[in-house]
């Protein structure tokens, strides 16, 4: 009996020391990790909508409860104190999991500035090509007025996006996400102004 | 001289991956690019080194009957620390290694070295053993990675080697991992017979 | 209902734990020489995996998250799994000796089986609800058993084949696994 208590105490001591060590490292590392995540976010904002003075998360004001569930976050970009662009964080179901996309729209031109795939778990070598600029550039400058459509060959019309070879499902998923953002953008930031 | 032997045994004679067939999970899963292989090798070596040092220092005070749980706690703490440090300092590699960093805990090599070596030897040989085993595992990983990255994406450490269209995507998909490791093992077996390594 | 069905199909076939996620390769290569042994291993792993999958989920939700010590996840989970394996071994030996005889020798190997810890972490990472986590664990363990049983069926036949000396054992098993994994890639169109 005494033995068991002794062994138990020993293990507890080991666990306590280990816990202290891990806790210490966590204290050191967690601010750095948070900074890393924030920096990543700011960097991707800059990539998707360059030239903004500041970007604010205004999901509370614009993301209504009846909005498309694909929309996760709405960030507004400001230039000289005026709203100039909208950055949507959208999620869409891909081939093997959720794809998170950041899509930027310009309020004055009504065009897509750029999109960026933030995270995905698509098949390496096929669907994960979605995170390459070569694919993402296909969305650049598209008009927000018409729904985008995925085609397998060279696009003929302005609103067509060429799919990634052998990964139509992934391409469609990304496009679906962008379309959800585009629709919300059209309703909230384009129609409201023209009316 | 003896220390030299402890060091080199991990690289050839008792290479954890090629000879002992340990650590096959990460060797198949993350070996899609050389960068991943180096990252995994470094993380693995760090954890092995730290756990070998601590366990060898504590070898006289750990009661034999609870040694395995004690080792597991020690290894798991170092893995957690490595996980956090990698997240903070090398976010890119951290992302692509994903779940396989916490899974270093159940990598049989580390527990195996603790049980078979660090618990029976003093600190200096344990350090040398960890470095040798770590280097051996890293070399093995990088070998697998090189084949898969060059044949699968046509690049080496991100540098384009083969023109687009030639690389076979299959090599970076799961089957490519199995087939690369299988053929490499067969080849090394043959070499071993021939030169009696 | 449909969601659960998708989780199961995905876990068993599309994202098979062994052949596409590379978890639990050690037992997959080590214990797949005989059909009976692989059934035993599959059973033992499934049992522990489902149990630990639920316990670690509860632990994460009700202990680690409220106290904001999510970073202790790895340490906590591996301890739970190690303790659970010991406990299952004791209970089995006491109450169901036949089952212990069949699965007992595989139990100690399970603590260091990355499939068990891997699925526990995947459940948390994917943010699954409790029932979904349970279904996911069930699906993954079924996938593990399936891969192991298929493999042992092939390996029993390989024994009679004339394989070059240097390819015998693990190398040829890996090449076979590559072909199986290629076949499983075909399932990916299912979802």
Neighbours of C49 (CB within 10 A): 27
CB proximity A121 to C under 8 Å: no
Separation of CA B108 from chain center: 10
- Taking the C-alpha atoms of residue C137 and residue C7, their distance in angstroms, rounded to an integer, is 10
Neighbours of B160 (CB within 10 A): 10
C-alpha atoms less than 13 angstroms from C-alpha of B113 in its C-beta half-sphere = 37
Chains in contact with C, where contact means 3 or more Cβ–Cβ distances below 8 Å, are A, B
- Among the ranges A38-52, A119-133, B177-191, C24-38, which has the highest mean pLDDT value? B177-191
- Taking the C-alpha atoms of residue B109 and residue B112, their distance in angstroms, rounded to an integer, is 5
- Taking the C-alpha atoms of residue B108 and residue B30, their distance in angstroms, rounded to an integer, is 17
Buried b (16+ CB within 10 A) or exposed e, C96-128: eeeebebbbebbebbbbbbbbbbbbbbbbeeeb
Q: Hey, are the CB atoms on A7 and B87 less than 8 Å from each other?
A: no
Q: Check residues A174 and B157 and name the one with the higher pLDDT.
A: A174
* CB contacts, 8 Å: B153 with chain A: 125
pLDDT category, B137, cuts 50, 70, 90?
Answer: very high
* Size of chain B, expressed as the number of residues it contains: 197
Q: How is chain B split into domains, by residue range?
A: 3-195
Cα–Cα distance list, C37 to A176, C19, C33, C41, C144 (Å): 48, 19, 8, 6, 14
- Taking the C-alpha atoms of residue B109 and residue B8, their distance in angstroms, rounded to an integer, is 16
Given a cut of 80, whether residue B92 has pLDDT beyond it is yes
- Taking the C-alpha atoms of residue B71 and residue B51, their distance in angstroms, rounded to an integer, is 8
pTM: 0.82
Residues of chain A with pLDDT under 70: 1, 96, 124-125, 191-195
pLDDT of residue A193: 54
The terminus-to-terminus CA distance of chain B in angstroms comes to 19
pLDDT of residue C179: 93
Among chain A residues, CA nearest to C69: A23
**Average pLDDT for residues C104-121, to the nearest whole number?**
82
| Matching residue, tokens 């306590």 | A16
pLDDT category, B79, cuts 50, 70, 90?
Answer: very high
Is there a contact between A146 and A110 (Cβ–Cβ < 8 Å)?
no
Helix (H) or strand (E) holding A103: strand A98-106
Is there a contact between A75 and A86 (Cβ–Cβ < 8 Å)?
yes
For A:126-165, CB contacts with B below 8 A are 126
**Average pLDDT for residues C25-42, to the nearest whole number?**
83
| Matching residue, tokens 């098979």 | C16
Mean pLDDT taken over chain C: 86
**Average pLDDT for residues B62-79, to the nearest whole number?**
87
| Closest CA of chain A from B88, distance in Å | 5
For chain B, the maximum distance between any two Cα atoms, rounded to a whole number of angstroms, is: 60
Burial level of A151, CB count in 10 A (0-12/13-18/19+)?
A: middle
pLDDT of residue B2: 76
Chains in contact with B, where contact means 3 or more Cβ–Cβ distances below 8 Å, are A, C
Q: Hey, are the CB atoms on C22 and B29 less than 8 Å from each other?
A: yes
Among chain C residues, CA nearest to B87: C71
Alpha helices in chain A (DSSP H): 2-48, 59-62, 133-136, 168-185, 192-194
CB proximity A59 to C under 8 Å: no
Rg over CA atoms, chain A: 23
pLDDT of residue C133: 92
Is there a contact between C141 and C134 (Cβ–Cβ < 8 Å)?
no
Among chain C residues, CA nearest to B186: C167
Mean pLDDT taken over chain B: 87
φ, ψ (nearest 5 deg) of residue A73: -155, 140
Separation of CA B111 from chain center: 13
CB proximity B91 to A under 8 Å: yes
Given a cut of 90, whether residue C58 has pLDDT beyond it is yes
pLDDT of B16-45, one tens digit each? 888 888 888 888 888 888 988 999 999 999
Is there a contact between C57 and C49 (Cβ–Cβ < 8 Å)?
no
Q: Hey, are the CB atoms on C188 and A26 less than 8 Å from each other?
A: no
What pairs with residue A82 in β-bridges?
A79
Q: How is chain A split into domains, by residue range?
A: 1-48, 52-194
The terminus-to-terminus CA distance of chain C in angstroms comes to 15
Is there a contact between C94 and B122 (Cβ–Cβ < 8 Å)?
no
- Enter the tokens of residue C17: 């734990």
pLDDT of residue A1: 67
What pairs with residue A151 in β-bridges?
A162
Best to test chain B binding among C18, C171, C185 (most B CBs inside 10 Å): C171
pLDDT of residue A145: 82
Q: Hey, are the CB atoms on B21 and C170 less than 8 Å from each other?
A: yes
Given a cut of 60, whether residue B1 has pLDDT beyond it is no
CB proximity B31 to A under 8 Å: no
How much is the ipTM here?
Answer: 0.85
* CB contacts, 8 Å: C75 with chain A: 18-19, 22
DSSP assignment letter at C104: G
Q: Hey, are the CB atoms on C71 and A30 less than 8 Å from each other?
A: yes
pLDDT of residue A195: 45
**Average pLDDT for residues C111-135, to the nearest whole number?**
87
pLDDT of A60-83, one tens digit each? 888 777 778 888 888 888 888 888
SS3 B115: helix
- Enter the tokens of residue C137: 């664990």
| Closest CA of chain C from B65, distance in Å | 14
Looking at beta carbons, which pairs linking C37-42 to residues 24 or more positions away fall under 8 Å?
C37/C152, C38/C145, C38/C148, C38/C149, C38/C151, C38/C152, C39/C145, C39/C148, C39/C149, C40/C102, C40/C103, C40/C105, C40/C106, C41/C106, C41/C109, C41/C148, C42/C141, C42/C144, C42/C145, C42/C148, C42/C149
- Taking the C-alpha atoms of residue B79 and residue B86, their distance in angstroms, rounded to an integer, is 10
Alpha helices in C10-59 (DSSP H): 25-30, 35-59
Best to test chain C binding among B185, B191, B192 (most C CBs inside 10 Å): B185
């Amino acid at each position: 009996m005494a033995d068991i208590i002794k062994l138990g105490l020993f293990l507890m001591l080991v666990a306590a020391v280990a816990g202290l060590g891990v806790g210490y490292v966590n204290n050191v590392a967690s601010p750095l990790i948070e900074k890393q995540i924030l920096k990543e976010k700011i960097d991707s904002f800059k990539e998707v909508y360059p030239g903004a003075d500041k970007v604010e998360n205004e999901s509370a004001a614009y993301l209504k409860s009846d909005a498309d569930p694909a929309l996760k976050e709405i960030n507004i970009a400001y230039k000289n104190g005026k709203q100039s662009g909208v950055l949507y964080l959208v999620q869409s179901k891909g081939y093997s999991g959720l794809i998170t996309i950041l899509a930027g729209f310009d309020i004055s031109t009504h065009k897509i500035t750029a999109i960026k795939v933030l995270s995905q778990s698509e098949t390496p070598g096929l669907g994960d090509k979605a995170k390459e600029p070569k694919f993402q550039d296909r969305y650049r400058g598209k008009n927000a007025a018409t729904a985008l459509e995925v085609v397998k060959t060279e696009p003929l019309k302005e609103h067509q996006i060429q799919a990634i070879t052998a990964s139509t499902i992934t391409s469609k998923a990304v496009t679906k996400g962008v379309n959800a953002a585009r629709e919300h953008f059209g309703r909230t930031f384009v129609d409201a102004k023209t009316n | 001289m003896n220390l030299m032997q402890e060091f080199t045994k991990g690289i050839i004679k008792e290479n954890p991956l090629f000879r002992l067939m340990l650590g096959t999970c990460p060797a198949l899963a993350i070996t899609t690019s050389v960068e991943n292989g180096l990252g995994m090798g470094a993380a693995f070596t760090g954890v092995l080194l730290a756990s070998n040092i601590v366990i060898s220092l504590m070898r006289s005070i750990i009661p034999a009957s609870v040694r395995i749980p004690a080792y597991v706690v020690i290894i798991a703490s170092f893995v957690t620390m490595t996980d956090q440090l990698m997240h903070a300092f090398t976010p890119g590699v951290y992302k692509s290694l994903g779940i396989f960093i916490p899974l270093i805990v159940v990598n049989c090599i580390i527990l195996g070295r603790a049980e078979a070596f660090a618990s029976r030897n003093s600190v200096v040989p344990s350090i040398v053993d960890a470095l040798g085993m770590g280097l051996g595992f890293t070399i093995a990983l990088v070998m697998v990675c090189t084949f898969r990255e060059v044949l699968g994406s046509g690049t080496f450490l991100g540098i384009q080697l083969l023109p687009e269209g030639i690389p076979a995507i299959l090599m970076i998909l799961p089957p490519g991992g199995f087939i690369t490791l299988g053929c490499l093992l067969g080849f090394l077996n043959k070499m071993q017979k021939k030169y009696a390594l | 209902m449909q969601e659960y069905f998708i989780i199961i199909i995905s876990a068993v076939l599309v994202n098979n734990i062994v052949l596409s996620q590379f978890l639990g390769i050690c037992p997959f290569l080590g214990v797949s020489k005989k059909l009976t042994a692989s059934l035993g291993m599959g059973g033992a792993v499934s049992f522990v995996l489902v149990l630990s999958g639920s316990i670690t989920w509860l632990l994460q939700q009700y202990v680690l998250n409220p106290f904001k010590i999510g970073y202790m996840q790895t340490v906590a989970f591996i301890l739970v799994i190690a303790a659970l394996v010991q406990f299952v071994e004791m209970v089995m030996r006491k109450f169901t000796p036949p089952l212990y005889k069949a699965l007992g020798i595989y139990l100690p190997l399970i603590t260091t089986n990355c499939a068990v810890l891997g699925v526990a972490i995947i459940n948390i990472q994917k943010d699954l609800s409790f029932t979904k986590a349970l279904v996911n664990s069930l699906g993954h363990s079924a996938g593990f058993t399936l891969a192991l049983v298929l493999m042992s069926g092939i390996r029993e036949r390989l024994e009679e084949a004339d394989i070059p000396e240097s390819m015998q054992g693990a190398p040829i098993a890996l090449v076979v696994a590559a072909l199986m994994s290629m076949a499983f890639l075909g399932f990916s169109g299912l979802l």
